[in-house]
Structure 1
Amino acid sequence: MTDYGHALRFGTFITPSADDPGRAVALAELTEAAGLDLATYQDHPYNPGFLDTWTLLTWVAARTGRISVSGNVLNLPLRGPAMIARQAASLDLLSGGRFELGLGAGAFWDGIAAMGGPALTPGQGVAALSEAIDVIRQVWDTDARGGVRLDGKHHRVAGMKRGPAPAHDIGIDLGAYKPRMLRLTGAKADGWLPSLGYIEVADMPRSNRIIDEAALEAGRDPRRIRRMLNLMGGAVLPTGRGFLQGPADQWVDDLLPLVLEHGFSTFILGGDDPRAIQAFGAEVAPALREAVEKERASAGTVTGPVRPAAALGARRPGIDYDAVPEELRDHAVEPGDRGYARVRHGYMQNGRPGLVLRPESAEQVAQALGYALDQDVPLNVRSGGHGISGHSTNDGGVIVDLSRMNRTEVLDPAARTVRIGAGARWGAVASALNPHGLAVSSGDYGGVGVGGISTTGGIGHLGRAHGLSIDHITAMEVVTADGRVLRASDDENPDLFWAMRGAGANFGVLTSVEAVAAPVGDVVLAQFAYDASNAAAFLRAWGEITAAAPREVTAFLITGPGRGGSGPAARATVVYAGDDTDAAVAALEPFLKAGPVLDQSAQLAPYPAILPFDEGPHQGAGVPASRSGLVSEISGDTARALAGMLASGATYFMQLRQVGGAINDVPADATAYAHRHQAQAVVALAPPRAAHRLDEQWAALDGAIDGMYLSFDTRTGPEVLSLAFPEPTLSRLREIKAQYDPHQVFDQNFPIEPAGD
């Protein structure tokens, strides 16, 4: 008796008839409506009466929203493996991870040859399929270096670029009956997919034994191979007699031994009868699930996913991997998983986390938080992972990654109210809101996460016209240290709402925000390049020009030391928050007088166009030594201190971000971000090894520094918190910390001590 412990799945095997293409699609839609899990189609390209299966699968995936789709099985000899890999990954990405890959070695060789395909012997067909699986897995393995290479007898790939990576680990299921194919299934496949009629129940133990032995020889756990079965010729009838002929309870009696004794866990109903599909989903599937669950509980059957030995060996100490909540397992990423490289690093910090949990709801965040706190490792929370100080990853700990909580919804276009998931990126938010003529002021890079800015401040290109990001927020959904899911607003938990807007990383996991967006369509984007050799004079002029600019203008300046004997250069991005080009020209002309202009451009553009971002994974470029401060003006002394810093070579990157305007309209005590009178935010970066040199130069600004924006500083300690949160803000934060996080669960991101400690 063999029960491999897989969760049960149910699907349909639909005829891809070209005579009635709409029916082939409608039956897949019915499959989903009936509560089944997957819709599959046979693939015989040489049959002119059938639709092309790849085209049909794409259409069906677009017409459904939950079920998986698959060929049953795809004809490999007429479809090159490199293209199959690309097509499969593309459809998986487009469908949100709903594609499975069923493959066959080939049959009906006359028809294949008539289409120009190879005429192979059965043994050659198996060898070609084995090579094809290797090619496909290489294409999907975007974490590996170099191109795809295979110099086989049947397939040759010479340096093909890898990717794209699919949205999930696509299972490769083989239609197999003979020993060679069964051994290949055990050695390389994820699923075995025979059909009743081609295999008898009496043959199943022997076939399973061959698969299991081949798996063990390949160093695989046999439980990794899902056993699937096409049920051909069955009928769900009120009355009837014979195997799979009769009412639902008879089907349960017939199928239950196939689960418990022969290890099958996926049953695919053949035929195109809508009534049978409905009954299969409404009657057979739930009854069989209940019966199997009861038998497994009685027998103590081991269930759940099986991991390869290499993945188990990559696990980190201090984490109980088997205790991950069931709701989180499908999207949990461990060091040995494909895709780990995409989630391990932050924008700056290199990471080697032991586990990355990717919840998709506040309730799942609470589960993830509760689980993480039971582990003897660090906990970090990640929104976009873009933070300069690198608090969104760790070494050996648990990451609660919110990237799947990324929806942007317009709740009321007239009232301009929106709801945004904390895992969304601001570039995607801008693109979603722009068709409605709306925007929420955000940073200057579209890859920054909503959660990071919404708990810190949000100094961006629309700042002086529309305020900080946090100034738009009207409510927050927060998971607190004790696992509660709270709504925070002026009317509900107002103390938490106040603290979250500026110091939120200390008080809970932000899962979503509600905000009132600003009416924003096109804006004018101007870019200037300057010769800043006379840095002190240039910076002084910059301060005067920006101070005199209308509040529709927000200007950001980046400078760096000179190279190759030349003096410092500067690059400016200046945004006029409106589409009045005449007014914009008048507001921008003074910037031509800041210093010698090397280049200039201006264009009318939609707001999303000024928030570029790369959707690829973070690479962990290395956490710099970063210093941040706020100043009320660029005085002569301040300009000289900044120029001296550039001349010293202590910084390779210095930025001035203009604030003021609408930002300063908000009372200082309205949010935990209390800096509502300053004019510029100053940032300077240096290599970590040169931090002491940077500090020596930064000290020249002591008389001018008037507060700090935490997102751009890598220092820690009480003096940092006192700059970021001037009294009475800090004392109030400590009181609220004692209420919501007295045990300092959230202690990785500029931690605030609770009052009384």
Structure 2
Amino acid sequence: MELGIALDPSEPGAPSQRWEELARLAEKRGLALVVVEASDGPEGPAESGRGEAPEAPAEGRPANESGAHIATTAGLDPWTAASWLSGRTTSISIGVSVPDTPAGSPTDAAAPFPTVVAKARQSLDALAPARLLTDASAWMSAPREASAEELSVLAAHGRPVVVPVDSAREVERLAALVPLTSAGLRPQRSPAVRARRRAGIDYESIPASLAGHAIEPGDTGYRGAASTYLRGGAPGLVLRPGTASEVADALGYARRHTHLPLGVRSAGHGISGRSTNTGGLVVDVGRMNGIEVLDRRQRLVRVGPGATWKQVSAALHPYGWALGSGDYGGVGVGGLATAGGIGLIGRAHGLTIDHLRAVELVLADGSQVRASADEHPDLFWAVRGAGANFGVGTAFEFQVDPVGLVGHAQLTLVTTDIAQALADYGRLASEAPRDTTVFFVTGQRRQGRWGVQLFAVVDSSDPDVVVERLTPFAQLGLLAQQQVVLSPYKDVMASAADVGPEGHRGFGEPVSRSAFLPELTPEFARDAANLLRSGKVYFFELRAMGGAIADVPAGETAFSHRASAFQVTAMGPDHHALDTVWDPLRHHFDGLYLSFETDPRPERLHDAFPPAVLERLREVKRRYDPGNLFRDNFNIDPHPGARTASADALEHSDALEHQGPRP
């Protein structure tokens, strides 16, 4: 227990300088909380928001800490006082009572408007991270004359206690009582952080190996850890293991919390995956980002799941090597290396998973295994295409390719005939030599025209070859902008922005649909043009496949749709609007790519995996995760039809996902 102070709200004209002195002294002496309350005026203090005035008896108002309680005199706005005290102190928690604000007229100066109050709360929380308490139920009041014994009794119940004072002498009196009541049990986190803990999570049992890097709601780094690149979130706890043993500890903790959603994150760029959630757990392996060369002669490298492809390409460049890796360098290795990896050198060098030679995983029961063609071959087959269902990858061994300078192009074109542009692109991309991979991106029409962006890589250092390959694509519309360079592959990945210490700032919920397209026919071009004319799609992409991707037999990995010519992605404002224009195209498709799909309904699994493949995956799931711990990323249920607590938690998580944007 820690004790604190409070100014007497009935004292007239208390100077702000004295409030500052008392708050800073409380902080210096290790007290926990400064509460700012408004008074009703000279006659007496306002109610505390708890139905308790400061002079109420201490009995029956439990707490585990005491704090500095500053009640403002008449006429002083509590937000102003709280903001000012936040700026004049450095670490002590600041409490300001913010009752629920009913909807009212924005022109009524006497009635706080809910959105204004909410914004004020967010602003103060941003200015004083992990220090703000706005729920009056998070603290209790004790009378000025409360004895050490009385405060000690209150301390056994788990909430801070605030005590009125009017002098530095009383601050020192309370500080002197701390050794009598705390017994060295001062919590590591402030009252402001603990007040935001989620029900159903045993924060006190976080393994010692993880506690130092764990992030809770209210922690300084929580905002960046809660969200991902495209997705808002509000998890109850983010665990950040740095070793395989710590991953095992994190999964042991997750097994004790199977009633909660469980997300696994590498770099936080996943569109489909549940790398964040609401109220659940997230295991973030971003700290595990090492990259090392194991065998230079065989071009064998070992990469941690938290490394980004920008980092990987930079590390491989001095050796003259490259590893195909999607189209954006900020994506993490862990998610892409277990899903597929359809990238800008895919037609020349295949999918990312085609270069995987071994993967180290921590399984649901905490055991650590190595999967390869010779060790746990069934698991090695499964993780290459459906890896999120079987364990947490802690290291990936790849055999990479020698790649020199490549032709890297970004072309912007304008067209009034999007159907013709799609049809021409489909023909050109399919007929191009396998050294050429071109992605097609467009969106909503502007003034009767579509802007089309082409992202291309030609695996050749010969400028004439690059020009020859790309010239036909430049005629898909009116060429408005072009950038064509010879560059190392690392520069293709280098355009990704580095994520700073503040983390991601995603918000809302991405809504995306994905499919594999065997052939881009004129009929598909017509139907896709109708989808784009609807205005219900703001992003539409075609990724060219074929070439080396199709060289691998379909049964060699869980990624089953090798023969497809293109992968298609569409993003829209909400599920219903997108489905109304996407569903008419389904007869053109054969399967889907889970990485870009946000519809978590079980039937999507049947789109992603042919029946025989899905049944084989279920067998592997029953062997390595029979309790279905890994269930939040397009769950391959080992026991379909059986009702479990895990299924209930997943259903609850999905319901939250579809309620709309999250904080």
TM-score when scaled to structure 2?
Answer: 0.69
**Separation in structure 2 between the aligned mates of residue 211 and residue 463 of structure 1, nearest angstrom:** 73
When residues 548 and 326 of structure 1 are mapped into structure 2, their CA distance, relative to the original with a 3 A threshold, is same
Q: Secondary structure at the match of 1:728?
A: helix
Q: For residue 108 of structure 2, what is the aligned residue in structure 1?
A: none
Shift of 1:594: 2.0
Q: For residue 459 of structure 1, what is the aligned residue in structure 2?
A: 342
Task: Tell me the amino acid that sits aligned with residue 745 of structure 1.
Answer: L
Q: For residue 730 of structure 1, what is the aligned residue in structure 2?
A: 614
**Separation in structure 2 between the aligned mates of residue 222 and residue 635 of structure 1, nearest angstrom:** 77
- Correspondent of 2:481 among 589, 592, 599: 599
Q: Is the aligned partner of 1:356 residue 2:238?
A: yes
**Separation in structure 2 between the aligned mates of residue 743 and residue 640 of structure 1, nearest angstrom:** 46
Shift of 1:304: 8.7
When residues 556 and 131 of structure 1 are mapped into structure 2, their CA distance, relative to the original with a 3 A threshold, is closer
**Separation in structure 2 between the aligned mates of residue 342 and residue 596 of structure 1, nearest angstrom:** 41
Task: Tell me the amino acid that sits aligned with residue 188 of structure 2.
Answer: V
Please give the per-residue CA displacement for 1:278-326, whole angstroms capped at 9, x wherever unaligned.
xxxxxxxxxxxxxxxxxxxxxxx86796221111111111111111111
Q: Is the aligned partner of 1:544 residue 2:430?
A: no
**Separation in structure 1 between the aligned mates of residue 483 and residue 640 of structure 2, nearest angstrom:** 56
- Correspondent of 1:752 among 608, 632, 636: 636
Q: Secondary structure at the match of 1:734?
A: helix
Written as runs of structure 1 = structure 2, the 5 A alignment for 1:41-80 is: none
Please give the per-residue CA displacement for 1:523-549, whole angstroms capped at 9, x wherever unaligned.
211111111210111110001111111
Shift of 1:753: 1.6
Q: Secondary structure at the match of 1:644?
A: helix
- Correspondent of 1:398 among 281, 286, 289: 281
**Separation in structure 1 between the aligned mates of residue 542 and residue 432 of structure 2, nearest angstrom:** 15
Check conservation: 2:442, 2:453, Cα contact below 8 A. yes
**Separation in structure 2 between the aligned mates of residue 328 and residue 703 of structure 1, nearest angstrom:** 48
**Separation in structure 1 between the aligned mates of residue 291 and residue 481 of structure 2, nearest angstrom:** 37
Q: Is the aligned partner of 1:584 residue 2:466?
A: yes
- Correspondent of 1:719 among 588, 603, 606: 603
**Separation in structure 1 between the aligned mates of residue 460 and residue 187 of structure 2, nearest angstrom:** 54
**Separation in structure 2 between the aligned mates of residue 716 and residue 429 of structure 1, nearest angstrom:** 30
Shift of 1:727: 2.7
Shift of 1:693: 3.2
- Correspondent of 1:618 among 485, 490, 504: 504
**Separation in structure 2 between the aligned mates of residue 467 and residue 216 of structure 1, nearest angstrom:** 69
Q: For residue 317 of structure 2, what is the aligned residue in structure 1?
A: 434
Shift of 1:213: 6.3
When residues 212 and 561 of structure 1 are mapped into structure 2, their CA distance, relative to the original with a 3 A threshold, is same
Check conservation: 2:233, 2:507, Cα contact below 8 A. no
**Separation in structure 1 between the aligned mates of residue 170 and residue 360 of structure 2, nearest angstrom:** 48
Written as runs of structure 1 = structure 2, the 5 A alignment for 1:120-139 is: 134=90
When residues 480 and 705 of structure 1 are mapped into structure 2, their CA distance, relative to the original with a 3 A threshold, is same
Between structure 1 and structure 2, the one with the greater Rg is 1
**Separation in structure 1 between the aligned mates of residue 174 and residue 530 of structure 2, nearest angstrom:** 67
When residues 550 and 312 of structure 1 are mapped into structure 2, their CA distance, relative to the original with a 3 A threshold, is same
Shift of 1:147: 13
**Separation in structure 2 between the aligned mates of residue 534 and residue 435 of structure 1, nearest angstrom:** 44
Q: For residue 575 of structure 1, what is the aligned residue in structure 2?
A: 457
**Separation in structure 1 between the aligned mates of residue 587 and residue 287 of structure 2, nearest angstrom:** 44
**Separation in structure 2 between the aligned mates of residue 403 and residue 388 of structure 1, nearest angstrom:** 17
Task: Tell me the amino acid that sits aligned with residue 674 of structure 1.
Answer: S
When residues 216 and 710 of structure 1 are mapped into structure 2, their CA distance, relative to the original with a 3 A threshold, is farther
Please give the per-residue CA displacement for 1:680-710, whole angstroms capped at 9, x wherever unaligned.
111111011xx33322222232221011111
Q: Determine which structure has greater relative contact order: mean sequence separation of CA pairs < 8 Å that are 6+ residues apart, divided by chain length.
A: 2
Check conservation: 1:731, 1:755, Cα contact below 8 A. no
Q: Secondary structure at the match of 2:516?
A: strand
Written as runs of structure 1 = structure 2, the 5 A alignment for 1:312-711 is: 312-375=194-257, 376-563=259-446, 565-611=447-493, 612-614=495-497, 615-616=499-500, 617-688=503-574, 691-711=575-595
**Separation in structure 2 between the aligned mates of residue 332 and residue 396 of structure 1, nearest angstrom:** 15
When residues 304 and 365 of structure 1 are mapped into structure 2, their CA distance, relative to the original with a 3 A threshold, is farther
Written as runs of structure 1 = structure 2, the 5 A alignment for 1:305-316 is: 306-316=188-198
**Separation in structure 1 between the aligned mates of residue 506 and residue 337 of structure 2, nearest angstrom:** 23
Structure 1 unaligned segments of length 5 or more: list them.
Answer: 3-129, 138-142, 150-161, 166-209, 224-260, 264-300
Check conservation: 1:568, 1:646, Cα contact below 8 A. no
Q: Secondary structure at the match of 1:703?
A: helix
When residues 302 and 674 of structure 1 are mapped into structure 2, their CA distance, relative to the original with a 3 A threshold, is farther
Check conservation: 1:348, 1:389, Cα contact below 8 A. no
Shift of 1:595: 2.4
When residues 483 and 147 of structure 1 are mapped into structure 2, their CA distance, relative to the original with a 3 A threshold, is closer
Please give the per-residue CA displacement for 1:413-460, whole angstroms capped at 9, x wherever unaligned.
221110000111111111111122112110111111111101100111
**Separation in structure 2 between the aligned mates of residue 697 and residue 306 of structure 1, nearest angstrom:** 52
Check conservation: 2:273, 2:632, Cα contact below 8 A. no
When residues 572 and 304 of structure 1 are mapped into structure 2, their CA distance, relative to the original with a 3 A threshold, is farther
Check conservation: 1:672, 1:729, Cα contact below 8 A. yes
When residues 663 and 302 of structure 1 are mapped into structure 2, their CA distance, relative to the original with a 3 A threshold, is farther
Written as runs of structure 1 = structure 2, the 5 A alignment for 1:78-477 is: 134=90, 306-375=188-257, 376-477=259-360
Instruction: Give RMSD over aligned pairs.
Output: 3.1
**Separation in structure 1 between the aligned mates of residue 418 and residue 208 of structure 2, nearest angstrom:** 59
Please give the per-residue CA displacement for 1:612-660, whole angstroms capped at 9, x wherever unaligned.
2221422223223211111122110010011111111120110011111
Query: How many residue pairs were aligned?
Result: 488
Shift of 1:145: 5.5
Check conservation: 1:349, 1:390, Cα contact below 8 A. no
When residues 303 and 561 of structure 1 are mapped into structure 2, their CA distance, relative to the original with a 3 A threshold, is same
Task: Tell me the amino acid that sits aligned with residue 444 of structure 1.
Answer: D
Check conservation: 1:545, 1:594, Cα contact below 8 A. no
Check conservation: 1:346, 1:390, Cα contact below 8 A. no
Shift of 1:216: 6.2
Q: Secondary structure at the match of 1:570?
A: strand
When residues 534 and 502 of structure 1 are mapped into structure 2, their CA distance, relative to the original with a 3 A threshold, is same
Check conservation: 2:406, 2:486, Cα contact below 8 A. yes
Task: Tell me the amino acid that sits aligned with residue 502 of structure 1.
Answer: G
Task: Tell me the amino acid that sits aligned with residue 720 of structure 1.
Answer: R
Check conservation: 1:531, 1:595, Cα contact below 8 A. yes
**Separation in structure 1 between the aligned mates of residue 321 and residue 255 of structure 2, nearest angstrom:** 39
Q: Secondary structure at the match of 1:669?
A: helix
Shift of 1:380: 1.2
Q: Secondary structure at the match of 1:393?
A: coil
Check conservation: 1:390, 1:623, Cα contact below 8 A. no
Shift of 1:568: 1.5
Task: Tell me the amino acid that sits aligned with residue 542 of structure 2.
Answer: L
When residues 134 and 665 of structure 1 are mapped into structure 2, their CA distance, relative to the original with a 3 A threshold, is same
Identical residues among aligned pairs (%): 47
Check conservation: 1:348, 1:390, Cα contact below 8 A. no
Task: Tell me the amino acid that sits aligned with residue 384 of structure 1.
Answer: A
Q: Secondary structure at the match of 1:505?
A: helix
**Separation in structure 1 between the aligned mates of residue 490 and residue 215 of structure 2, nearest angstrom:** 31
Check conservation: 1:557, 1:655, Cα contact below 8 A. yes
Check conservation: 1:495, 1:736, Cα contact below 8 A. yes
